[in-house]
Amino acid sequence: QAVVTQEPSLTVSPGGTVTLTCGSNTGAVTSGHYPYWFQQRPGQVPRTLIYDTSNKHSWTPARFSGSLLGGKAALTLAGAQPEDEAEYFCFLSISGVRVFGGGTKLTVL
Amino acid sequence: QVQLVQSGAEVKKPGASVRLSCKASGYTFTDYYIHWVRRAPGQGLEWMGWISTNTGRTVYAQNFQGRFTMSRDTSMSTVYMELSRLVSDDTALYYCARFDRGDAPWGRGTLVTVSP
């Protein structure tokens, strides 16, 4: 069974830049895994930030971007704001099923 | 507006089954798959499966095969999920959601508590 790995926690300073990554034990993550990134703030419903590696929804702040980096999917936040403190989950399509990563708890401090 | 409205909280005993619903509105029901996702206390998001609202085809996560069933009623624009042989680890918030390039809505979640 596929396992998707993320950093358990990261800290970024207000205004700073941080990159979250998403790897798979099945090999390099590619665009064919259709990476998604979700944000979930405490007590709130998750929302999609990025779909299909790098595409943004209309509500996705411009400071978020998605890419592929070194065999992983990546979510970069440039210019962190206090409201970006949340958990971030990546989501891959692997052999016809979908798998979430364990999530990264991002602290803005 | 586009929304997914989920049924209310449930309390079940171990070994029982639970059936949840997810009613879609504001768009053509059969145009989009619906996924089910859960989040247990202290855990991350867990994908359970998807259903094609057009054909009824389903794909299940390996962890749930055999005790998780999804169905849909196109006349009611509603998707159903049923989880059987409940154990305490099934205590979680269960979400229905669309993962797509458009509105990509999530339901607000249904809390299922499994307790003796």
What is the per-residue pLDDT across B22-76, written as a single tens digit (0 to 9) for each? Answer: 999 999 999 999 999 999 999 999 999 999 999 999 999 999 879 999 999 999 9
Q: Taking residues B71-87, report their average pLDDT.
A: 98
Instruction: Closest CB to A97: pick one of B45, B61, B106.
Output: B61
B61-70: pLDDT as tens digits: 999 879 999 9
The answer to whether the CB atoms of A45 and B44 lie below 8 A apart is no
**Predicted local confidence at residue A96, as pLDDT:** 86
**Predicted local confidence at residue B19, as pLDDT:** 98
Q: How far does B107 lie from chain A, in Å, by closest CA?
A: 8
Q: Taking residues A81-89, report their average pLDDT.
A: 98
B19, B6 Cβ separation under 8 angstroms: no
Does the structure show a pLDDT above 90 at A1?
Answer: no
The answer to whether the CB atoms of B97 and A46 lie below 8 A apart is yes
Distances (CA, A) of B80 to A6, A8, B93, B116: 31, 33, 15, 25
**Predicted local confidence at residue A16, as pLDDT:** 98
Q: What percent of chain A has pLDDT over 90?
A: 97
Distances (CA, A) of B40 to A43, A84, B70, B87: 13, 23, 20, 12
Between A and B, how many CB-CB pairs are < 8 A?
A: 53
Does the structure show a pLDDT above 90 at B102?
Answer: no
DSSP state of B106: B
pLDDT band at B101 (very low <50, low <70, confident <90, very high): confident
Secondary structure E strands in A8-103: 9-12, 17-24, 36-40, 47-51, 55-56, 64-69, 72-78, 86-94, 97-100
A100, A90 Cβ separation under 8 angstroms: yes
Residues 6+ apart with CB under 8 A from B107: A45, B4, B5, B6, B22, B95, B96, B97
The answer to whether the CB atoms of B35 and A98 lie below 8 A apart is yes
Q: Taking residues A19-35, report their average pLDDT.
A: 97
Instruction: Closest CB to B47: pick one of A51, A57, A100.
Output: A100
